[in-house]
Amino acid sequence: MNLKEFGKVAVLMGGRSAEREVSLMSGTGVLQALRSKGVDAHAFDPAERDLGDLKREGFARCFIALHGRFGEDGTVQGALELMGIPYTGPGVMASSVAMDKLMTKRIWLAEGLPTPAWRQVRSAAETRAAFAALGSPMIVKPVREGSTIGLTKVSSLEQCDAAYALAAGQDPMVMCEQFIAGDEVTCPVLGTGEQARALPVIRIVAPDGNYDYQNKYFTDDTKYLVPCGLPEGEEAAIQALVLKAYRTLDCRGWARADVMIDAATRRPYLLEINTSPGMTGHSLVPMSARATGMAYEDLCLTLLASAALDNA
């Protein structure tokens, strides 16, 4: 790998989404890793600088360590396409679709991929109706937000109004989703097209089954099991499902899909796919890659080398 071919690299971090704090942690880790390998890498926060500076200052490619809206939703990707600066992760369409959990589910369902039942809701009253239809417990969450921000697990009708208000405070589009009781797992994918490969599955065991924002990033109480310890054949089946989900959305570079396995039937259900996954000390893609012998620094280099344009 010729590092000079990378040129001047911007690590995009921070941004304006609700996940800014986590993005700064991800970006700092990536920046240090790339610099340790000899890459001419620089921090760049789109919340504090004009994106046009990337072109004016001669940046040759971007590592996107932004999470959530204005970073993971196709908007930054579109700007980089216009400037002709290659970037890591999926392109404009895949990024914008994956950020929209409803659109993602509609596409997966059309392709015959399993995903929990859901309802889009526009009011607290519709949330209560969804609870009657989907059963207890039910998940209420914003359609275009990540890191479980604005998410509530509802187990009684009385919780519906507050759950809707919390989700709607993050995004006017709110969805209710059937809760799948069972094992919570996640599976990263690296690569593009037929060369894409699924990394080892990670099983997540959170305190009281509550894998929320705090337990994701700021405590050490959540257990991450790699190897995942699932019954023989299940890990390979989940990897195959996640690869299909990834390719169906035309993702490239990398992503990470979240899956629930029904405890009774052992059937896996796709929840969502993250097109700019976390790269913090608690993050799951580096953890899964490490299980294959790939160090964090090498993962960052591999991702940077995959930077591309939709319309190159």
Q: What is the per-residue pLDDT across 274-288, written as a single tens digit (0 to 9) for each?
A: 999 999 978 999 999
Examine the residue annotation and report whether 19 is marked as an active-site residue of this protein: yes
- Within the chain, all domains assigned CATH 3.40.50.20 are found at 3-88
Examine the residue annotation and report whether 217 is marked as an active-site residue of this protein: yes
- Options 14, 89, 150, 278, the catalytic residue: 278
Distance CA 118, CA 116 (A): 6
Whole-Å CA distances, 259 to 128, 226, 239: 26, 15, 10
Residue 309 CB: number of other CB atoms within 10 A?
16
The answer as to CATH 3.20.20.190 being correct for domain 3-88 is: no
- Options 19, 73, 81, 177, the catalytic residue: 19
Examine the residue annotation and report whether 272 is marked as an active-site residue of this protein: yes
Q: In what order do the strands lie in the sheet with 174-178?
A: 118-121, 174-178, 138-142, 152-154
Q: Can you read off the two tokens belonging to residue 209?
A: 């089954």
Examine the residue annotation and report whether 256 is marked as an active-site residue of this protein: yes
- Options 73, 100, 258, 297, the catalytic residue: 258
- Within the chain, all domains assigned CATH 3.30.1490.20 are found at 118-178
Q: Which residue has the tokens 């369409």?
A: 93
Examine the residue annotation and report whether 147 is marked as an active-site residue of this protein: yes
Examine the residue annotation and report whether 290 is marked as an active-site residue of this protein: no
Would you list the DSSP string of 33-94?
HHHHTT-EEEEE-TTTS-THHHHHTT--EEEE---STTTSSSHHHHHHHHHT--BSS--HHH
Q: Can you read off the two tokens belonging to residue 210?
A: 């509550």
- Options 274, 276, 288, 306, the catalytic residue: 274
- Within the chain, all domains assigned CATH 3.30.470.20 are found at 98-114+181-305
Closest CA to 200 of 225, 165, 183: 225
**DSSP summary character for residue 195:** G
CATH placement of domain 98-114+181-305: 3.30.470.20
Closest CA to 5 of 212, 223, 308, 305: 305
CATH placement of domain 118-178: 3.30.1490.20
Start-end of H helices in 118-268: 124-134, 160-168, 213-217, 234-248
Identify the pLDDT of residue 273: 97
Task: Show pLDDT as tens, one digit a residue, over the chain (312 residues).
Answer: 778 789 999 999 999 998 899 999 999 999 999 999 999 999 999 999 999 999 999 999 999 999 998 999 999 999 999 999 999 999 999 999 999 999 999 999 999 999 999 999 999 999 999 999 999 999 999 999 876 789 999 999 999 999 999 999 999 999 999 999 999 999 999 999 999 999 999 999 987 666 556 655 566 788 999 999 998 799 999 999 999 999 999 999 999 999 999 999 999 999 999 999 999 978 999 999 999 999 999 999 999 999 999 986
